[in-house]
Structure 1
Amino acid sequence: MAGGTYTLVLERDASGPISVGALGELRFPAGWYAYTGSALGSGGFGRIDRHRAVAAGDNDTRHWHVDYLLGDAATAVEQVVTTEADIECAVARRVDGPSAEGFDRVDAFGCSDCDCRSHLAYHEHRDRLVEAVTDAHAAATG
C-alpha cells in the first residue's frame, strides 16, 4: 500500500479565529489538536509533506479544511502517526477515546466527504492527546 491513514498532532501556541473556507470563521484555542486524514492516492503519505509545507509557509494553496489551520502562524505540526490501512473514519471517531473528558471536536471539520461529526479533536494537554491518537490507530487496526 502506498499510503493509508494519518493523524497530525498539531500545537497551537496562541488562541484566535481562523477563516476555514466554507466553514467560515472558527475560533481555535491554544492547545493540542489531532487531525485525521487519508493518504490513499498516488502520492500516498507524500500528502504529509504537503501539510508540513503549508505549516512552514512554503505552500499557500488551500484545498482542505486542515490547510487553513496549518496555514495559521500559531499552528505547528508536532508529530505524525501513520497506519498503512484505510481506517480514516474509524480513527477519527476513536481519537477522544473511551473517556471524552477534556476533549472537544470542531464540528464538520475535515469530514465533508463522510458522515463523521469531525476529523479534528482538541485537548489542552499534549500527552493525553498523543495517547488518544496512538490508541485510536491501534484500536482501529485491531
Structure 2
Amino acid sequence: MRNSDPGEKFGESPGENPGADATAARDRSAAGGTYTLLVDVPTPIAIEVGALGERRMPAGAYAYTGSALGTGGFSRVDRHRRVARGDHDVRHWHIDYLLGHPETDLVRVVRSVGVDVECAVADRLPPGPIDGFGASDCDCRSHLAAGDSRDAFAARVREAHEAAADADDGADWGLADGDVDGGPVVDTVAGTKSERGDR
C-alpha cells in the first residue's frame, strides 16, 4: 500500500513527473474504492434520516464510510461535497441527510483507492449514534462512526483505512494483488469549506 500527501486534491499527485503523476491520480480516482467522509457537527442537531426517522446527534466529529466502485469512481464524493455545500438538494443516501443539515461541515475525505474495504473500515471505527446508518445493504451495525477530537479521529480513520487496505490488498474487488497503479493507495483530501450563506 502506498500513501499520498494529505494535502493533495482529487486528480492531483505530487512527484517528479507532474504530467504522469496527475494522469495516474485521475486513473486512481476513476477506479474508485472506499472513502470516509469526516463531518464536523459543532452543535447538537436533530435530523430526519429517511426510513430511520428523526435522530438526535450530539456535537462532535463523525465519520461516514462508503464505497465508490461504479463507473464514476470517486465522483460520488464530489456529489457528497455538493450536498454539503447546499448545491444539491436530493436526499438519496442516509449521509445526504447529515451533510445537508446547515450546521454540519464536511472537513476531510480519506480514500482507499482500488480496494473495496467499506465494511472493514467501518468495523474498525467506534460506533456512532444511529444504528443502521449507511448499512442497509450489509450486516454492519452502522457505517457512521463518532469521535471526540476531530484531528485525533481523522488520524484514527486513516489508520483504519491503512489496516483494511493492507489486509485486503485488492482480493475482494478482483484486483490482481491490489495492483492499481502500484497497489492500494490511502490518501486524505480536503472536504469542502462552508460556503452556505446561512453561516
TM-score (norm 2): 0.66
Q: Does 1:61 align with 2:90?
A: yes
Aligned position for 2:144: 120
Aligned position for 1:108: 132
SS in structure 1 opposite 2:137? coil
- Pairing partner for 2:121 from 78, 84, 91: 91
- Structure 2 unaligned blocks of 5 or more: 1-27, 167-199
CA apart distance, 1:104: 3.9
Greater strand share, structure number: 1
CA RMSD of aligned residues (A): 1.2
- Pairing partner for 2:41 from 3, 12, 31: 12
Q: Deviations over 1:71-108 (max 9, x none)?
A: 00011110000012111000010123xxxxxx644211
Aligned position for 2:157: 133
Q: Deviations over 1:114-141 (max 9, x none)?
A: 0000000111211221121011001101
Aligned position for 2:51: 22
Contact 2:42 2:59 in 1 (8 A): yes
Contact 2:128 2:142 in 1 (8 A): no
Identity %: 58
Return the letter of the residue paired with 1:79.
Answer: R
Measured in 1, the distance between the counterparts of 2:77 and 2:128 equals 24
TM-score (norm 1): 0.92
Return the letter of the residue paired with 1:116.
Answer: C
Return the letter of the residue paired with 2:120.
Answer: A
SS in structure 2 opposite 1:95? coil
Aligned position for 2:32: 3
Measured in 2, the distance between the counterparts of 1:81 and 1:21 equals 25
Aligned position for 1:43: 72
Return the letter of the residue paired with 1:125.
Answer: S
SS in structure 2 opposite 1:33? strand
Return the letter of the residue paired with 2:133.
Answer: F
